[in-house]
Amino acid sequence: MKQRLLKIIFLLMVTPCLLRAQQAGELKLLDWQPRSQLVTHVTPIEKPKFPVIDIHNHLGGLAQTKHYLQEMDKAGVVSCVSLDGYSANDQYLEHLKASRAVSKERFLVFFRPDYSKIDEPGFGEREAARLEKAVRQGIRGVKIAKELGLTVKDKSGKVVPVDDPRLGPFWEKCGALGIPVLMHVSDPKAFFTPVDKYNERYDELGAHPDWSFYGDQFPKKDSIIEQRNRVIARHPNTIFIGAHVGNLPEELNKVGAWLDRYPNFYVEISARISELGRQPYTCRDFMIRYQDRILFGTDTPCDAEAYRIYYRFLETKDEYIDPAPSHHMQARWMITGIYLPDSVLEKLYNKNATKLLSIRNMNR
């Protein structure tokens, strides 16, 4: 009886400890959503100091035009570029029709080339001719998605490099037409490294495992970037805009070196304030130094609250800003505002884009 009583007492003492340990061990990192106890200053910004042009967005067929316009108006966005004007099957025509039904300047459409016939003789010239026709119909620029140099293959089974000579006539035509090429090549550095305990975007890759490009089946990030840079160098009369801070926001010194080397190269900041805001001093210096070569973008369907996260980052000294609502959670760090001077903000928000897109009327 005494032994049984001691056993019961032991279980009563140990069981709560075991339960607590079990509960703590069951929490997965992907499910961990800590609530900060830090109290910091919050500067609400309903609208930016200057009108905004969003150079990087994906609005599908503009089916939600009314909603997008409402969100843009609430957030002080005068124009938004949709990068979904596909060349294949002349899909861009429907996109242009939907944008023109609103206005000529609120929604601008960029052309996306079709690589399906890249093995056919004269591919570059024919796609360039299609682009020229599209520009006459209202297309304002070109979008190159990350598939080029990464996953697009020709009939030989080899990945088509960004600097494939078959695309040369197309790049030249962009320059002759005076339209910019917004180029997204590769992806964040973490997407090209093992998805393990050392990967700083483990959460994001856990939620989107198909975004990992680590392994011998994919080209290396540095190689893809080098291909892009050779294209920029070979076509000095064509304006290239490096999406997502030139696709290397983790190394602003390198991006700055490219901007110094290539006068026809620009960058935009879409979906990368999470990277920029964790290096606020370096980022602020970078933005001020290259203020004539940086454009505003979000890569997030028009949403007033998402825009306001960008404004708070760019205009204030606020600390510990959660960047996730501006796009989605990319990593676990918070960001710090870089309080740019007004003269820099105006260029970033609209002046640089106005020049490249030949937008005349900024009064909405």
Helical residues (DSSP H) of the chain, grouped into ranges: 2-26, 65-75, 92-100, 123-137, 168-177, 202-207, 221-234, 243-246, 252-261, 273-276, 280-289, 304-315, 342-346, 352-357
Helix-strand-coil split of the chain, %, nearest 5: 45, 10, 45
Structural domain containing residue 82: 38-357
**CA-CA distance, 357 to 140, in Å (whole number)?**
7
The token pair that represents 192 in the structure block: 């090209």
* Residue 5 is assigned to a structural domain of this protein: no
Contact yes or no for 142/182 (Cβ under 8 A): yes
What is the DSSP secondary structure assignment for residue 264, as one 8-state letter? T
* Residue 8 is assigned to a structural domain of this protein: no
* Residue 317 is assigned to a structural domain of this protein: yes
Nearest to 335 by CA among 353, 361, 360, 314: 314
**CA-CA distance, 174 to 133, in Å (whole number)?**
12
Nearest to 173 by CA among 111, 103, 257: 111
The tens place of each residue's pLDDT in the chain, 364 residues long, gives 555 544 544 444 544 554 454 455 688 877 888 888 888 999 999 999 999 999 999 998 778 888 999 999 999 999 999 999 999 999 999 999 998 888 888 999 999 999 999 999 999 999 999 999 999 999 999 999 999 999 999 999 999 999 999 999 999 999 999 999 999 999 999 999 999 999 999 989 988 999 999 999 999 999 999 999 999 999 999 999 999 999 999 999 999 999 999 999 999 999 999 999 999 999 999 999 999 999 999 999 999 999 999 999 999 999 999 999 999 888 889 999 999 999 999 999 999 999 999 876 655 4
- Strands of the 181-183 sheet, one edge to the other: 52-57, 77-86, 107-112, 141-144, 181-183, 240-242, 265-268, 294-295
What is the Cα Rg of the chain in Å? Answer: 24
The token pair that represents 145 in the structure block: 């998605």
List CB contacts of 265: < 8 A, sequence separation 6 or more.
Answer: 232, 240, 241, 242, 246, 258, 259, 293
* Residue 16 is assigned to a structural domain of this protein: no
- Burial classification of residue 123, based on how many CB atoms lie within 10 Å of its CB (0-12 exposed, 13-18 middle, 19 or more buried): buried
Nearest to 137 by CA among 115, 113, 110, 102: 110
Nearest to 330 by CA among 249, 271, 278: 271
Q: Please report, in angstroms and rounded to a whole number, the separation of the first and last CA atoms in the chain.
A: 87
State the total domains in the chain. 1
* Residue 344 is assigned to a structural domain of this protein: yes
Contact yes or no for 283/277 (Cβ under 8 A): yes
* Residue 156 is assigned to a structural domain of this protein: yes
* Residue 307 is assigned to a structural domain of this protein: yes
The domain spanning residue 210 has which CATH number? Answer: 3.20.20.140
List CB contacts of 359: < 8 A, sequence separation 6 or more.
Answer: 53, 79, 105, 353
* Residue 128 is assigned to a structural domain of this protein: yes
Q: How far is CA 93 from CA 89, 127, 134, 247, in A?
A: 9, 15, 8, 29
Characterise 285 by phi-psi region: left (phi > 0), alpha (psi -120 to 50), beta (else): alpha
